[in-house]
Amino acid sequence: MSEPVLIALIGCTQAVLVALVSVLAVRVGRVQRDAAATREQVVNDHSTNMREENDTRHNETRSWFRDLRRDIGGIREELRGLRSTDRALDKRIQQLEEIEITEGKNRAQ
């Protein structure tokens, strides 16, 4: 390889390396800013550990859902009872209607 080509190749390589270092520096700077912003939001001035606070809230929410499921189960059970009562009433009404029809025919004769 000739000396001018080698010098040009070295110059291009240096330019590419400088560009890569610049891009990486910009990215590292962004990552550092983002990390600092995240740390500010997470650390803030909380008196408790954020994880412990979230765990406590999660347990409270789980308890609410457990109560809600129990309430819904009770409502479903009540609805089942109403349906069976409705069926019994429907059956009784049907029997009374049949008696009325039969007795009505007997009276008409």
pLDDT tens for the 109 residues of the chain, in order? 788 888 888 888 888 888 888 888 888 888 888 888 888 777 767 677 778 888 999 999 999 999 999 999 999 988 888 887 878 888 888 888 888 878 776 666 6
Cβ(42)–Cβ(50) under 8 Å? Answer: yes
> Which pair of structure tokens corresponds to residue 38?
């995240």
CA 50 to chain centre: 20
| pLDDT value of position 97 | 83
Amino acid found at 34: D
Cβ(39)–Cβ(46) under 8 Å? Answer: no
| pLDDT value of position 71 | 95
Backbone angles phi, psi at 48, to 5 degrees: -115, 165
CA dihedral 53, 59, 63, 65 (to 10 degrees): 90
| pLDDT value of position 108 | 63
**Segments making up each domain of the chain, as ranges:** 1-44, 71-109
pTM for the model: 0.40
Cα–Cα dist 44/36, whole Å: 11
Cβ(64)–Cβ(56) under 8 Å? Answer: no
| pLDDT value of position 30 | 87
